[in-house]
Amino acid sequence: MQTPTKTDADHQLPTAIEPRNPGMALDLDWVRTAQANTSAIERRAKTLPGRRSVKKDYQAAWLCRAISCIDLTTLAGDDTEGRVRRLCAKAAQPVRADILEALGMTGLTTGAVCVYHDMVPTAVDALSGTGIPVAAVSTGFPAGLSPFHLRVAEIGESVKAGAEEIDIVITRRHVLQGNWQALYDEMAAFRAASGDAHVKAILATGELGTLRNVARASLVCMMAGADFIKTSTGKESVNATLPVSLVMIRAIRDYYDRTGYRVGYKPAGGISKAKDALVYLSLMKDELGDRWLQPDLFRFGASSLLGDIERQLEHHVTGHYSASYRHAMA
């Protein structure tokens, strides 16, 4: 049977009506047998930048798709309401109108705007009528070490304020100690507190020690009902990498093969160039297929990435590169 689709008016993309991952009982046998061949994964990852190359109109189309999958983010201690409102304006109009007109694109926006809880009301107000969701980082972001009841309460407050997506951080020690039941229970509690808001589980992969730990943590979070699994907070010393992405994407594929539910993927931190976005999109296409190239199943956690993509699109249209300061985010 063909999957029913609806039109996403904000992105002008066909989006499947996707059932939400309900989670499942913790399967420790599955978790403990999950492995990661680090040397093979790293060899495969090294080949990725040179394996796929799209040019001219095709590249422009892929870059527009990348924009629709960006969670445009500001997570700075000096964030102000004015900065957040300017970022939201950029999310609603990510590329200059004349460039979009030359490309024949209409209705292009970013996938979401991601902010701290304190800025959720401002972002919700600024994005009113655009259809762009607000994502809030939560649960003691970025370390996730505040008291558990406060982390759960923070989720509820962000949902009450209008956040439609919640980016939670897991407790890293559960992974490092192999305490999979504790990780499962924590993630399940976060999912329950989120209600109808979709949950992105941030694994902070740069702090998990091994790719095997990344694979197992990915599975446990999906079993507990995560709608997305995400690499990083962007605050760690090592953020999104291709080897980590390969491991997490294959865990998503295994989960889908076994349960029939699609879980999204979000690489975050350190992805700032258009050429990097193309590599990640091609990786998703190769490993998971076209369905995972939609914003409901794939997001970039980024801010400066959009500026570089806009520069590349202007070059495609005019044949000239503009200065980066002409594409300010906020």
Q: Which one of the listed residues 200, 230, 276, 308 is annotated catalytic?
A: 230
Q: Which one of the listed residues 10, 71, 200, 266 is annotated catalytic?
A: 266
C-alpha angle with apex 41: 35 to 47, nearest 5 degrees?
Answer: 165
What backbone phi and psi angles, to 5 degrees, belong to 115?
-140, 170
The answer regarding whether domain 23-327 maps to CATH 3.40.190.10 reads: no
Give pLDDT, residue 2: 33
Burial track 288-322 (b if 16+ CB lie within 10 A, e otherwise): beebbbbbbbbbbbbbebbbbbbbbbbebbeeeee
Each residue of 141-172: pLDDT tens digit?
A: 999 999 999 999 999 999 999 999 999 999 99
Give pLDDT, residue 320: 84
Q: Which one of the listed residues 10, 71, 167, 308 is annotated catalytic?
A: 167
257 is catalytic: no
What backbone phi and psi angles, to 5 degrees, belong to 74?
-135, 120
196 is catalytic: no
230 is catalytic: yes
* DSSP letters for 210-232: SHHHHHHHHHHHHHTT-SEEE--
Q: Measured between alpha carbons, how far is 181 from 174 in angstroms, rounded to an integer?
A: 9
Q: Which residue stretches of the chain have pLDDT < 50?
A: 1-15
Q: Where are the domains of the chain?
A: 23-327
Give pLDDT, residue 49: 87
Each residue of 20-68: pLDDT tens digit?
A: 999 999 999 999 999 999 999 999 999 998 876 788 999 999 999 999 9
Q: Measured between alpha carbons, how far is 94 from 307 in angstroms, rounded to an integer?
A: 9
